[in-house]
Amino acid sequence: MFRLKPFNPETLIPPLVKTLIGVLGFQCVIAAVNLIFPPDMSRAQTASAVALDRNGAWLRALPVDNGRWRIRADLKRTDPTFVRNLLKVEDERFYLHPGVDATSILRALLSNLHAGNIVSGGSTITMQTARLLNPHPRNYGNKLIEALRAVQLEMRYSKREILALYLTLAPYGGNLEGVRAASLSYFGHEPESLTLGEQALLISLPQAPEARRPDRRPETALKARNLILTRMAAQNIIGASQAHEAMNEPMVTSRFVFPALAWHTAGRLARNVKGLQATVVTTIDANLQTRLEAMAAATAKEQGPNSSVAILVIDIKTRGVRASVGGGGLDRPGGWMDMTRAIRSPGSALKPFIYGFAFEDGVVAPDTRLMDSPTRFGDYQPEDFDRVFHGEVSVKEALINSLNVPAVAVLNRIGPEAFQGRIESVGVPLVVPKSGLKQSGLALALGGEGIRISDLALLYAALGDHGLARPLAYTLTDEKASGGHRLMRAEAADRVVSILRETPPPEGRLPGPLMKNANRPAFKTGTSYGYRDALAVGVAGGYAVLVWTGRPDGGARADQTGREASAPLLFDVFDQLQAPSQLPQAIDPNNAPQGLKMMTGAGVVRASILFPPNNATVYVEVKGAGEKLDAVRPLKLSARGVRPVEWFIDGQPLKLDDNGEWSWTPPAEGFYDLKVIDAQGHEDRSHVRVRAIHADTR
């Protein structure tokens, strides 16, 4: 009789322990292999860096190695229907398997045996991702490696992270990798909302990206897309009518060009970020940037084949750079150079800061009287741009008219070294030309030292912010930063702004905001030696705007001044800006403190002629030859004395011109006697010789 042995639980313990040890040992081996031989993620870490505008719009991306576009996929901005349909077609059990789907592999093996060749790989999305991370020839040996790598990926990343990796690395033909690059290139938009036809094409391309490229082989691409649609209908993923409708969608036959707005600035910022999360959100407004780039290109074309244009628009409140145009176009000479980063001569554009520091130090006030007359400062003798001296003028008049001698005189009082030190104290270096000198001296007032164009914009933004200087912000992260350094006291800065607001606009130009009773721009122009640089910088409506025109190679241009070449564009840029806000009003700018009415400290002076001085030879520019002078411009007469004054030429009274100024056009070459009489009856005389000089012989 068969009898069962008594059950002894202790007899099962050794086998259970052995099994447990075996399982743990296997897991340890897998963990050790995973640790010692991790998957190579280098391709995933070299995704294209993308620069976005402040609202998330694409500005520019940088290709990776060999010019390939590999743009990080963002599942939050990828059509969820596309993702769902992709998984149903390619890997229906994606969320269930551990990286390898045995059922899928068995099904593929049977299909291949039945067909007599490889017709199906049985690869999961995770296995395909492993192959994309480390490309190699397709064979059964490498398929085993893919399976092991897929398990490793599943151990290290979540399903959504693996899916994002696949949608970043999948090939879509040519130099396109990832669903974003493909969607932007083939359809002209992000993959946030895709039609069924677009989805089917994107699902089909990674399996044979070159053979099915729609821009090269549209017929093959059409067949592959429709085959996917037929398969989706057969699997009841979509309805037959949906498939039929999607098959009627036209096939794309070309590629869109990737956006390249703010080419210089966006590229520089994108190069500073790395890795799979290589996205930088800038402070730039893409809509404004687009308009200004078109304006810059048109202006550069108007000014000649070698000319370029740079524009900066800064939000004074946040210092965010709303627009940065580095040139007049990549197709122009020097167009690849970012002129907003170039170091150029500012011309007269630093004069407002000379007067601002002088206001702060109590050296002068807006109503202080200065002499604009031939003056020598040691070995340096400046002259005005128009080669005409204006006599006694106020600081306000000197700044509005950008007179050179008064600016140099004030700089001489505050000291060029002290001036440069105060500018550089807020992080703005001034660069001395290669002359062996450490400092250019008084020539600094007229552009004798170079400055980075963006730094000049920084200084003017400080003027518009009551004298507080802060770095320019190019990213939203930087824009949120606070702090800064005081360039000058608020009262001094506000006085400068108030004076600059009275600068006459360029001929025939008024900004749109001015027509709506907003503040008129407070601006200053600058022209460097040889007309190499023409600048216009201003503040209005809560913005600081800089416009530079010139040649990137530093070549001279004929008669291209800041007022004529750049100021009109400056006003056009202000027309494009919205939401004007009030600029600071100066505090009683015309009320000079007692004792500062005349910088020299002199009292009331008797009538005396400042220009033309006695026994001088005055050269008059003329347009043509002949006994009668066809002067390019009249001579501006200047005298000191109690106003009003009266002028006489060879005993004949002179009349004020249409601008209410004393100007005289000599009728011919020769000698003339000039006399001035002031309101107290004091008079002065000068005997001068007039000679003609032709404009084309300057």
Q: Could you report the per-residue pLDDT of 491-528, keeping only the tens digit for each?
A: 999 999 999 999 999 877 654 444 454 568 999 999 99
Residue-range domains of the chain with CATH: 44-247 (1.10.3810.10), 308-576 (3.40.710.10), 608-697 (2.60.40)
Q: 53: closest CA among 244, 281, 372? A: 281
- Predicted local distance difference test score (pLDDT) of residue 254: 94
Cβ within 8 Å of residue 384, ≥6 positions away: 372, 390, 403, 404, 405
Q: 234: closest CA among 82, 110, 106, 89? A: 89
pLDDT band, very low/low/confident/very high, at 7 (cuts 50, 70, 90): low
Report whether pLDDT(418) > 60: yes
What separation in angstroms does the CA of 434 have from each of 390, 430, 445, 448? 34, 13, 18, 11
- Predicted local distance difference test score (pLDDT) of residue 372: 87
More confident: 12 or 621 = 621
The identity of residue 122, as a single letter, is G
- Strand pairing report for 279-281 and 50-52: parallel
SS3 539: strand
pTM of the model as a whole: 0.75
Q: Could you report the per-residue pLDDT of 167-199, keeping only the tens digit for each?
A: 999 999 999 999 999 999 999 999 999 999 999
- Predicted local distance difference test score (pLDDT) of residue 46: 85
Alpha-carbon span 544 to 521, nearest angstrom? 9
More confident: 435 or 272 = 272
Cβ within 8 Å of residue 493, ≥6 positions away: 356, 462, 463, 465, 466, 467, 487, 584
- Predicted local distance difference test score (pLDDT) of residue 679: 80
What does the DSSP 8-state code read for residue 563? I
- Predicted local distance difference test score (pLDDT) of residue 601: 36
More confident: 30 or 166 = 166
Token pair, residue 467, equals: 């004298």
Contact of 612 with 635, CB cutoff 8 Å: yes
Report whether pLDDT(11) > 80: no
Work out the angle between the directed axes of helices 196-204 and 179-186 (0-180°, nearest 10).
130
Q: Give Rg (Cα) of the chain.
A: 37
**Rounded to 5 degrees, what are φ and ψ at 647?**
-115, 145
Report whether pLDDT(545) > 70: yes
- Predicted local distance difference test score (pLDDT) of residue 698: 37
Work out the angle between the directed axes of helices 218-234 and 240-247 (0-180°, nearest 10).
170
Greatest Cα pair distance in the chain: 159
**E strand residue ranges, 442-542:** 451-452, 468-469, 485-486, 522-527, 533-540
Q: Could you report the per-residue pLDDT of 443-480, keeping only the tens digit for each?
A: 999 999 999 999 999 999 999 999 999 999 999 999 87
pLDDT band, very low/low/confident/very high, at 680 (cuts 50, 70, 90): confident
pLDDT band, very low/low/confident/very high, at 289 (cuts 50, 70, 90): very high
Q: Could you report the per-residue pLDDT of 57-102, keeping only the tens digit for each?
A: 999 999 988 889 999 999 999 999 999 999 999 999 999 998 887 7
pLDDT band, very low/low/confident/very high, at 120 (cuts 50, 70, 90): low
What does the DSSP 8-state code read for residue 282? B
More confident: 487 or 277 = 487
What percentage of the chain carries pLDDT values higher than 90?
Answer: 58
Indicate which residues carry an active-site annotation.
90, 348
pLDDT band, very low/low/confident/very high, at 594 (cuts 50, 70, 90): very low
- Predicted local distance difference test score (pLDDT) of residue 513: 47
